[in-house]
Amino acid sequence: MSTALLTDRYELTMIDAAIGSAMHERECAFEVFARRLPEGRRYGVVAGTGRLLDAVESFRFGDPELEWLRAQSVVRPDTLDWLADFRFSGSIHGYREGEAYFPGSPILVVEGTFAEAVILETLALSVLNYDSAVASAAARMVSAAEGRPLAEMGSRRTGERSAVAAARAAFIAGFGATSNLEAGRNWGIPTMGTAAHSFTLLHDSEEEAFQAQVDALGAGTTLLVDTFDIEHGVELAVKVAGPGLGAVRIDSGDLPVQVAAVRAQLDALGATNTRITVTNDLDEFTIAALRAAPVDSYGVGTSVVTGSGHPASGFVYKLVAHRDDAGQWIPVAKKSAAKATVGGRKSPVRTLVDGTAVAETIRIGDDAEPTTGRELLVPLLREGVIDEQYRGADGTLRAREHCAESLAELPADALRLGRGEPAIPTVYVG
């Protein structure tokens, strides 16, 4: 399916005007970066790269798209001809998916002609802004859970396409499973889920509902015990499934108190290995508040798919350099109040001391002094050819592994949930 119209009109009208002034083929470099992190956050996590590469490959103007643009008089006939032949032939470098980022981090660099680079602006921002917001929130939840498993279950709290993207982003950040089947099919994410309260209410009694579920899924299933009375629900769950019951789920009430009571009850009934999973509008703060409770796993919905209060990462897509008539790169930058940019092509490096990140060092220009550290930009697409290692289920798994490695480099204070400044400073050199 074409992604060509998942864009803003002004991308095409800029190309239309640039073709008219014969400037559309000037070679340019655009950057995606965030001027600041969401308030109180200490780091962000890059996500969406693999999805974006797929979307770029599908960015084609077929007959239906061209006919609609013609009927709406969006651009002139010469521009329609250019769009009909469009295939991105430039290069894209970026931070590896799963990488931590900070204010000013050039997480994506798109180089090509003005026309073919600017046309990707809206697409790149719509993917990266959402996916990175979810991954950044999910990473905070993972650190708050201190090794206990988390499942993403927020599909009904966002759009149907966003639900799939959110499940992928949360998995990259460290969640172990999703309730969304399409995310499982597309990206190889483990899926989970058993029954809702409606299943219990369908039956003439809670015991009958539990029996039906155990008959279908086995004693290792997870039974939802809070439809009526939690204490009675736990008693029935163990009665039906036996002490080998896999888990019980609690979706309401004062969770620290309820979890402690349920753990004691399960142990008294001989179900010492039955796990307790909790849901009920969790976020990183409520998860952290449950650290002392005997919770075995968490299910998170609304908070993770909405970025836990920050549904967009604040990324922008800006022209930072273009070649002049002599072929030299010329830095360009905005000077607008509160929206100034730093011109020039850049090479970011994560500066480390004894394996711990201490600065985001961004070299400006090709002649910048070399800096010791980990180079952050990797080639994602060269001369129109995508590097396949970043795509599909395998690419998603690699991003998950890299996220864990990247966050392990951050100083300990980075993982605190309290308000604070970015975990490391951004330093420009050159």
Q: SS3 string of 411-422? A: CHHHHCCCCCCC
Round to whole Å and give the CA distance between 400 and 10: 35
C-beta separation of 403 from 174 below 8 A? yes
Over residues 318-343, mean pLDDT: 94
- Give the whole-angstrom CA distance, residue 422 versus residue 72: 46
**Fold match between 9-134+310-429 and 194-292?**
no
Alpha-carbon span 424 to 84, nearest angstrom: 45
d(C-alpha 372, C-alpha 350), whole Å: 8
Tens of pLDDT along 128-166? 999 999 999 999 999 999 999 999 999 999 999 999 999
The pLDDT tens digits for 333-388 are: 999 988 999 999 999 999 999 999 999 999 999 877 778 899 999 999 999 999 99
Are the C-beta atoms of residues 241 and 233 closer than 8 Å to each other? no
Domain ranges of the chain: 9-134+310-429, 194-292
Q: CA neighbours within 13 Å on the CB side: how many for 426? A: 22
**For residue 55, what pLDDT is reported?**
98
Q: Which residues pair with 108 in a beta bridge?
A: 32, 94
Residue 379's identity, in one-letter code, is P
Task: Give the pairing of strands 275-278 and 247-250.
Answer: parallel
Neighbours of 273 (CB within 10 A): 12
Structure letter (DSSP) for residue 191: B
Q: Spelled out in words, what is the top-level CATH class assigned to the domain 9-134+310-429?
A: alpha beta
pTM: 0.97
In the chain, the amino acid numbered 221 is T
CATH superfamily of 194-292: Aldolase class I (3.20.20.70)
Q: H or E stretch including 381?
A: strand 377-382
